[in-house]
Structure 1
Amino acid sequence: MTKIINSKELEEATLVKLTERGVDLEKIAEIVYLMQKNYNPNLTHELCLDSVKNVLKKREIQHAILVGIELDVLAERGALSEPLQSLIQEDESLFGCDETLALGASFGYGSIAIMTLGHLDKQKIGQIKELDTKSGEIHTFLDDLVACIAACAAGRIAHQQRDLHDSKLLNTPV
């Protein structure tokens, strides 16, 4: 019989997997802050962390994270068949499935998230760089998924800021 997983269980499983792989939500929030501070003078680290946590409540994000982490772990164990094992283990530059998974998950947060994800994939700042260069573990998917989380949280903040601005112009509550 197939187990039905409720949204709270899925969220908890995602957070556990991220923690097990060394991901720190505070460090993701730092990336979000760097991406949005020039556009939002009232931005705080708390707001960035809150946005990260809200992004992690979305099922599409959770699914992408769980799939990506599982593939990284299986590659660490040498449990994938060739040539997939080598492609993930070596983080082959033309593989692209890691970026595609992160990109697909980011679509729900608009063009700002997509553009930010592209920037973070190239610049690899903060925890993204730590995961990308960490030896002894495979993070072929995880570094891109952390970039996805940060990009989505930044997009979320940008859209909220715009909504707040528009409501002030129209003199209507948000």
Structure 2
Amino acid sequence: MVQSGSKLHEVALKKLNDRGVELEEIAELVYDLQSPYLTELSVDLCLENVKAVIRKREVQNAILTGIELDVLTEQGKLSSPLQEIIEEDESLYGIDEILALSIVNVYGSIGFTNYGFLDKTKPKLIKRLDDHTHSKQTHTFLDDIVGAIAAAAASRLAHDNPGISKIMK
């Protein structure tokens, strides 16, 4: 049976939390992305936007799919060569980024540039999730999903708050 929207939302939040992802950490990424452009920005406002992004069902589906693939990889339950590709976070695989782009696409084209920046620079939480040397967990999909949520929240924030932009003053 398919979960109701609110139940799916709860499961997605729990899965993020179980994997060591705090929404406040994602909000910090959003703040870092948007603070140069929005004069009256707070981490709380960024957190509101992160939560709004995660309330979208397609985002919840991407979270659940990506985390499940990471967990199955940790358990060695995928067929070869997919097992090794995800386990090693093969740079030419790209499906992890494709899944993440489904989240980014929800809030427009600015999300693509935000996501690209985060994926390239891997700041803060994304760097921790992408670090394969200190964790037994696989985060091939999760690091990209977190970056996509932050990018989408930053886009949502920019589009919803044109009045606090330095450009409009």
TM range, smaller chain: over 0.9
Kindly provide the amino acid, as one letter, of the partner of residue 40 in structure 2: N
Aligned residues: 164
Specify which of 90, 93, 111 is matched with residue 92 of structure 1. 90
Q: How does 1:110-125 map to 2 (within 5 A)?
A: 110-125=108-123
In structure 2, the partner of 1:172 is none
Q: How far apart in 2 are the matches of 1:165 and 1:19?
A: 32
In structure 1, the partner of 2:2 is 4
Alignment partner of 1:154 is 2:145: no
Specify which of 1, 11, 14 is matched with residue 13 of structure 1. 11
Q: How far apart in 2 are the matches of 1:153 and 1:17?
A: 19
Kindly provide the amino acid, as one letter, of the partner of residue 159 in structure 1: H
Q: Which has the larger radius of gyration?
A: 1
4+ aligned runs moved over 6 Å, structure 1:
none
Q: How far apart in 2 are the matches of 1:132 and 1:151?
A: 17
Q: How far apart in 2 are the matches of 1:165 and 1:73?
A: 41
Unmatched runs of 5 consecutive residues or more in structure 2 = none
Specify which of 77, 91, 102 is matched with residue 100 of structure 2. 102
User: Normalized against structure 2, the TM-score is what?
Assistant: 0.94
* Residue 50 (structure 1) shift: 0.6
Q: How far apart in 2 are the matches of 1:151 and 1:159?
A: 12
Q: How far apart in 2 are the matches of 1:118 and 1:93?
A: 15
Judged with a 3 Å threshold, the aligned counterparts in structure 2 of structure 1 residues 72 and 149 are, in CA distance, closer, same or farther, namely same
In structure 2, the partner of 1:28 is 26
Percent identical among aligned pairs is 52
* Residue 135 (structure 1) shift: 2.1
Kindly provide the amino acid, as one letter, of the partner of residue 50 in structure 1: E
Alignment partner of 1:142 is 2:152: no
Unmatched runs of 5 consecutive residues or more in structure 1 = 170-174
Task: Indicate the SS of the match to 1:50.
Answer: helix
Task: Indicate the SS of the match to 2:63.
Answer: helix
Q: How far apart in 1 are the matches of 2:125 and 2:161?
A: 25
Task: Indicate the SS of the match to 1:12.
Answer: helix
1:98-148 residue CA offsets vs partner (Å, 9 max, x unmatched): 001001221111111111001100000010001000421100000000000
Kindly provide the amino acid, as one letter, of the partner of residue 151 in structure 1: A
* Residue 161 (structure 1) shift: 1.5
Q: How far apart in 1 are the matches of 2:51 and 2:18?
A: 17
1:39-85 residue CA offsets vs partner (Å, 9 max, x unmatched): 10000010001100110000111111100000000000000000100
Specify which of 43, 46, 49 is matched with residue 45 of structure 1. 43
